[in-house]
Amino acid sequence: MLALVLSISSHMRVRTVIANVVVLLLYVWLFRLQRYPLAQIARDWFPQALMILAYKQMGWFAPATHTNLREHQWIVWDRLLLNDLHGRAIIESLGPILPSLLELSYALVYAVPPITMAVIYATGLRRRTDTLLTIYLLGLFLCYAQFPFWPSEPPRVVFPGEDNPTVHTALRSFNLWLVGNYGIHTSVFPSAHVSGAVAAAFGIGYLLPQRRRLVLAYFGYSVLVAIATVYGRYHYAVDAAAGFLVGVFGFVFGVWLTARADQYRARAGAAIVSMVPPTVSTKKNGSL
């Protein structure tokens, strides 16, 4: 939809439309095979690949140049948190321990979807994968869909050498290599890292409220991701805050959508049952 509305090159427009038509055809094919258990499982895991595709597609919307006007406004809040309020000094007060934990949390964001799906399977809630995927994908894709409207570059690019961590770890080198080689240049607002982690935490809390330690672990992890994005200069503080709000909205909207879908299925099932004529039983030889 964005490719058809926004002003992008005709080549990218055609490329985007073709890619998404292929995805829709694959879903039609999976839907036709729903009677097979393997097809049902494939449908649960298929979105894992689509998350990567959607992210790369948003890179096709990157502007030729960035004015960096927003970034100069956003950096003020980062410097308040990191410098004036001594956020960086507090994080680095224990040496490489907390910086390494934050960089690890940032790196593991890419493993959250398969790990969370595995948790749902392991706890016997595979029938609720639709709910989990709806919540998580809304939290993620609602960020992606905003990227073209907030063109921006990360602070490590716009302000090289400024406000960087003073503790450099191997995990940081890995993350810098990853975003440097596979990142996109469309926008960093809102932070999809934060929104995805927050949506996953709320999704787990909604589906597994009795697993309190697991839920707390997910929420604690989402906090670490939010801090890591700012401390590591992968995002601005406003990106993280906006990502949190999108993640919460994705949860609320996702729960509402799945509830509506359940109601629709229930009404459709009741309508089908009402259309089936009752069986007429007659007595024969003294028995029904």
Q: Is the pLDDT confidence value at 285 over 80?
A: no
Residue 288's pLDDT band, with cuts at 50, 70 and 90, is very low
* Helical residues (DSSP H) of 108-169, grouped into ranges: 112-122, 129-144, 155-158
Q: What does pTM read for this prediction?
A: 0.88
The C-alpha angle 179, 140, 214, rounded to 5 degrees, equals 95
Q: pLDDT tens digits, residue range 192-227?
A: 999 999 999 999 999 999 999 999 999 999 999 999
CATH topology for 63-265?
Vanadium-containing Chloroperoxidase; domain 1 (1.20.144)
- Whole-angstrom distance, CA of residue 119 vs CA of residue 42: 16
The separation between CA 215 and the C-alpha centre of its own chain, rounded to angstroms, equals: 17
User: Residues 141-163: what's their mean pLDDT?
Assistant: 95
The rounded distance, in Å, linking the Cα atoms of 22 and 206 is 33
CA–CA dist 225, 107 (Å, integer): 9
Core vs surface per residue 215-245: b (16+ CB within 10 A) or e: beebbebbebbbbbbbbbbbbbbbbbbbbbe
Phi, psi of 120 (to 5 degrees): -60, -40
Q: Is 98 a residue whose pLDDT tops 60?
A: yes
Measured distance CA(117)–CA(171) in Å, rounded? 25
In the chain, domain spans: 1-48, 63-265
**What confidence tens digit (pLDDT) does each residue in 240-275 have?**
999 999 999 999 999 999 999 888 888 877 777 767
pLDDT interval class at 279 (50, 70, 90): low
Residue 189 three-state SS: coil
- Mean pLDDT across 101-114: 95
pLDDT tier at 90, thresholds 50, 70, 90: very high
What is the pLDDT of the chain when averaged over all its residues? Answer: 91
Round to whole Å and give the CA distance between 195 and 176: 20
At 108, which helix (H) or strand (E)? none
- Block residue for tokens 């004036």: 84
Q: What is the pLDDT of residue 282?
A: 45
281 falls in which pLDDT band (50, 70, 90)? very low
Buried b (16+ CB within 10 A) or exposed e, 61-92: bbeeebeeebbeebbeebbebbeeeebbeebb
Q: Are 129 and 120 in contact (CB under 8 A)?
A: yes
What contacts 136, CB < 8 A, 6 or more positions away?
Answer: 113, 116, 196, 199, 200, 203, 250, 254
Angle at 109 between CA 105 and CA 110, to 5 degrees: 135
